[in-house]
Structure 1
């Protein structure tokens, strides 16, 4: 084939040499707008994994690159006068100019034609069988065919400047400095024998308030030198952006996502590669890493498929998925650095841990594999904050609220079972909740329990509107207290507009009852399922008084039954949620309009419950932190909602999201709701409970250790395995006794389970060592 690469950066050069090496019959050209030797930036970072891929793709090039590497395993975090170091991370730094020189020389050696000072406004006059658009972040080819590629460019919230310094860092270094305007941070790493990269970053409002927008380049550098004087240790900061002046050096990171990567123009397919196709924030690596991996994959796919069209389909399908995974991690990392102010409220030890795990690509156990010493010391420190003098996994540290001390940080979520008769929990509930209390969790929630017959979701929902129901619940509470060390919580709620529906397995979820319906209430008249659900009527003041009093009566019964904890359900589109969300509250009186007004009635109910609930027992509130619908509740609203409940006396905010509207479009993923819990916890200073897609001990440990939440509520995994907590303890090799209590009757199974997981871990380690040996690692 005749192949032309537009752009002589790492993507275009590396692809050119790989495809030429694979088949010397290809005629390969690289068109670069700049002169040979011109480049921007200082050093770039590659992970050990990327270096392994380079070795496999072209050992000759990899050897030259490796010889120029500065390798380090440590990450050093400077915060509040402390330096915290974690090892085993495996990164390499190389000067961008050095890397380009190596790739250019290798291209020439393999017979690739390099054409410099070739400005290519678009692809119209290129005569080739395949065109690679590797023309960078501001790709003109991508812009020309935007209708095909459908690029989405998101300018992030921080300003940053890319500088260099003669200070040689022995670790990948993060330095955080508070100022009167807000926080600045530096990302620094050595890339050759004489220089390090030094990136300074701050949220744009902080950057503007500090006056950097109006400073000259020299004044800006002097500002940064003074601010980071301690870590620079007398060394200067240097700019190589000679063509830029003043604030033009400081840019906002543009996150680029393209829906498709291949355009067919009738002459030759035009394929995006590198920054033209995608970007990922520098805080988790570099665009260079992604560009090189793009080149490897495309060259391999062309060799593996006899038909070019098939090769390009394979490249786009497989590579776009991998890049999206990295971009998701980069988004987490970007948002972490955009919100340093709230993370800085954590102790330095927890701040550093939060930074290390910010992308969610590094979990607690993965961090332990990298640096067991660091994790061990951190676990001992974290446990000490709970009064425990031992090394304990974070999920098994105790948690104190008012007069209640939970043995660990795992909660069994309230999960509807639809198995009551006349609202009375029976033997099924004794078995269901009792089994989960014996399964190791520190706190077990009863499902949403309704405060009146017309508050039910379905006829099978439990209630607490009668003394008979109170007695049935007391039977369950007494069993839990007598046979386990778990605490048990009652969640009170009112279905509101989502009531009077079928038990899911008898008539379909959210479908109205075919007969026997009861009238529904909501903040405003509405149908949960338009055209299908029963119409809920707007509450009058008399309705509000009655429902509030129903909640109070139910809370009194819950206290008398011995529940350790009370939660008020204000989420998921149920009655109190219907007041909070602007999607469902269209009232024109004092209970509608502003968020303060929409919160008025839910706060009234909560305050009434707090007055009758025993002062030594905790209360929580479940909220929907995001409606996932335009015009609905936002994560920023959730912070204000949580603050209002905190002021009213709530001890914990149980942070869920969605289920307010069927028009919702959530962005799912591992622990996808946890960022909402973290934002609330660390911005307003209240304990939070994280929920949603938390399924492993590793997830719980990472969340608790990083200060993203104080408790983790686990739902579906507890349906599959009542002893989820005991099982996960054995899986990670924790045998207790702190935070972990096996029932005496089950102890004979404990050692067998632990031995089986130990065998699996040993087999996994052996397999990993064998794989590393095969790779020469």
Structure 2
């Protein structure tokens, strides 16, 4: 009998996850004009067999200028939607795990080169660059162009783009969407007083700084059918003095809770790499934020923070620091991380019929 907390079932919205392991969004920088390629078929086909409870596809832009790099996925028209549908259909051939996709706009952190090349920001007048946008015309301390300050009319357009991309995501077969309000991208830029210096209704007070992200949430919720769910990923802190912090995150999370948010995915940092002061990076270093938010909201909480040891993930769930644990880079390194965790913890994991014979002799009950 399974006694592992990590391998117990729990729902997000109407979807029952077989365990508490979530594969978070991890950009692949391998799209062509926003369209998924064969790399995505191989990459996500592999992860779909991982045994995790849920898979969230990488940041997918609501418009071309909302991409992080020129090789990011998009969901802004029928061509990008059709290309990504092939990936969803491919995963569905042999996996029934709930699938989500992260809907995003990179804001001033857009127009970059590929991460494994230089990770540099590309000038607006370069072949693969473009003019970035943000709540305020403030460049990052680490580079990038001075972004165009969005007008109120342009903000409304982006809100609609989030809604349209989310509707496309559900139409092509995703179960859920995750709205990206973390890591210094556009929604986070509006939340943080470091990047939002506006003096209109979208800036200044916490209520005003939350206005754009909550307008996005309301617009997305309005177009999603009742049999689905949406989540929001946040940075609980900027790790910058007088920036966005946990107390503000709690207020924001409560507003999301009121709006029927299906889950909150709690990360940290990313607003400005030159200004942030990170603590020592160690396993679970951001779990305290998830734990604090879990005490304040009804919706499930996904915790993150360099967690690669199954026993540490088990402990986090047992101690109610989070409802789910996101395993990102660890899953790239070992796409069967969930299998190995189940073996170590005495849990069970879903595996394709073709692989059932592969369970090691001591773990004959490993696979469902």
Question: TM-score, normalised to structure 1's length?
Answer: 0.45
Residues of 1 paired with 2:317 and 2:295: CA distance? 13
Residues of 1 paired with 2:203 and 2:322: CA distance? 31
Residues of 2 paired with 1:575 and 1:747: CA distance? 44
* Aligned partner (choices 647, 668, 691) of residue 304 of structure 2: 691
Residues of 1 paired with 2:53 and 2:74: CA distance? 24
2:270 aligned residue: 659
* Aligned partner (choices 84, 109, 119) of residue 509 of structure 1: 119
What are the within-5 Å matches in structure 2 for residues 30-429 of structure 1? 390-429=1-40
Query: How many residues matched?
Result: 361
Residues of 2 paired with 1:604 and 1:726: CA distance? 40
Given that residues 490 and 567 in structure 1 are in contact (C-alpha distance below 8 angstroms), is that contact kept between their aligned partners in structure 2? Answer: yes
Residues of 2 paired with 1:727 and 1:626: CA distance? 32
The two structures, once aligned, show a CA RMSD in angstroms of: 1.7
Given that residues 481 and 487 in structure 1 are in contact (C-alpha distance below 8 angstroms), is that contact kept between their aligned partners in structure 2? Answer: no
Deviations 1:354-408 (A, max 9, x none): xxxxxxxxxxxxxxxxxxxxxxxxxxxxxxxxxxxx5431111111133211111
- Decide which structure has greater strand share: 1
Q: Does 1:452 align with 2:34?
A: no
Residues of 2 paired with 1:396 and 1:653: CA distance? 20
1:670 aligned residue: 283
Alpha-carbon distance change, 399 to 733 in structure 1, aligned in 2, over 3 angstroms: closer
Given that residues 477 and 563 in structure 1 are in contact (C-alpha distance below 8 angstroms), is that contact kept between their aligned partners in structure 2? Answer: yes
2:175 aligned residue: 564
2:351 aligned residue: 742
Given that residues 442 and 485 in structure 1 are in contact (C-alpha distance below 8 angstroms), is that contact kept between their aligned partners in structure 2? Answer: no
How big is the shift at 1:732? 3.1
How big is the shift at 1:649? 2.2
Q: Does 1:521 align with 2:133?
A: yes
* Aligned partner (choices 408, 417, 433) of residue 44 of structure 2: 433
2:16 is paired with a residue whose SS is strand
Deviations 1:40-89 (A, max 9, x none): xxxxxxxxxxxxxxxxxxxxxxxxxxxxxxxxxxxxxxxxxxxxxxxxxx
Structure 2: runs of 5 or more not aligned: none
1:703 is paired with a residue whose SS is helix
1:700 aligned residue: 313
How big is the shift at 1:470? 1.2
Given that residues 4 and 346 in structure 2 are in contact (C-alpha distance below 8 angstroms), is that contact kept between their aligned partners in structure 1? Answer: no
2:292 is paired with a residue whose SS is helix
2:251 aligned residue: 640
Residues of 2 paired with 1:391 and 1:730: CA distance? 11
2:177 is paired with a residue whose SS is strand
How big is the shift at 1:529? 3.5
Residues of 1 paired with 2:298 and 2:160: CA distance? 30
Question: TM-score, normalised to structure 2's length?
Answer: 0.94
Deviations 1:450-485 (A, max 9, x none): 011110110110000111221222222222223013
2:345 aligned residue: 732
